[in-house]
C-alpha cells in the first residue's frame, strides 16, 4: 500500500487537486480559527486552506512524497503547517488539544473503524468539531475514486454509532453528488458527511 501511494503522489500535478474539500471549507468558514488535526492529509490541500485562514495546523500521512509535495505547496502560499510522517497507529503522539479534526476520505478497515474514530475523538477538546467526508458502500458502483474494497467503505448507521454517544450530531447524511477533486475524485459519487460536536 505504501508503494501505491508513493507512486500516485509522484505523478504530475496534485492527485486530488489544489482546492480544499468543499465540505471542510464550508465548515471551517463558519468557525473561529484554532488548532486543527488533519489525518492522512495527502498533498495538503485542506491543510494549506486552513493555514491560510489562520488555523494552527497539525497533519500527518505515511507517504513521504505526499509530505514533500505538501510542504512545497505550503511554501508557495507562504504558510506553515506541522506535517509529520506518521500513520494512524501513531495517534498516541498527539495531545488532547484540538478545536477541530477533519477526516477527509481517510478510510480504515471497518474492523478498526470505531476504535480509530474514538482515538481521534479523545484528541478533541469538549466543544470541538469533528468533520468527516468518506465514501459509503454505494461507491463501489462508481468510478470516481475510493477504496475498491467494501470492507473499507462505510454505512451511515455505523458512523452514527461511532459518534452519537460522545457527540452532538449536527450533520449526518448520505450524499450523492459529483466530485471534482483533482484527477482521482471526478464524477458521480456516494459518500457520508458528518459534523459532530464533542460533548
Angstrom distance (rounded) from CA 196 to CA 166: 9
Closest CA to 113 of 139, 134, 92: 134
Q: Spell out the residues 6+ positions from residue 102 whose beta carbon is closer than 8 angstroms to its own.
A: 21, 24, 27, 28, 36, 37, 38, 46, 50, 131, 132
pLDDT band at 95 (very low <50, low <70, confident <90, very high): confident
Write out pLDDT tens, residues 24-60: 999 999 999 999 999 999 999 999 999 999 999 999 9
Q: What pTM, to 2 d.p., does this model score?
A: 0.96
β-strand partners of 185: 181
Q: Is the pLDDT of residue 194 over 90?
A: yes
- List of domains in the chain: 2-198 (3.40.50.150)
Amino acid at each position: 500500500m505504501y508503494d501505491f501511494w508513493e507512486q500516485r503522489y509522484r505523478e504530475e500535478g496534485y492527485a486530488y487537486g489544489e482546492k480544499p474539500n468543499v465540505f471542510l471549507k464550508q465548515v471551517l468558514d463558519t468557525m473561529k480559527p484554532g488548532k486543527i488535526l488533519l489525518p492522512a492529509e495527502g498533498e495538503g490541500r485542506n491543510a494549506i486552506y486552513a493555514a491560510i485562514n489562520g488555523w494552527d495546523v497539525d497533519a500527518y500521512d505515511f507517504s513521504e512524497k505526499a509530505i514533500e509535495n505538501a510542504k512545497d505547496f505550503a511554501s508557495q502560499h507562504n504558510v506553515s503547517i506541522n506535517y509529520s510522517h506518521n500513520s494512524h497507529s501513531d495517534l498516541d503522539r498527539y495531545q488532547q488539544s484540538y478545536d477541530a479534526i477533519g477526516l477527509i476520505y481517510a478510510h480504515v478497515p471497518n474492523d478498526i473503524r470505531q476504535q480509530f474514530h474514538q482515538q481521534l475523538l479523545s484528541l478533541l477538546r469538549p466543544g470541538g468539531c469533528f468533520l468527516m467526508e468518506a465514501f459509503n458502500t454505494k461507491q463501489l458502483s462508481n468510478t470516481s475514486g475510493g477504496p475498491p474494497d467494501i470492507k473499507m467503505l462505510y454505512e451511515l448507521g455505523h458512523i452514527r454509532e461511532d459518534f452519537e454517544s460522545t457527540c452532538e450530531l449536527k450533520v449526518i447524511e448520505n450524499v450523492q453528488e459529483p466530485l471534482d477533486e483533482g484527477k482521482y475524485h471526478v464524477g458521480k459519487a456516494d459518500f457520508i458527511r458528518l459534523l459532530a460536536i464533542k460533548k
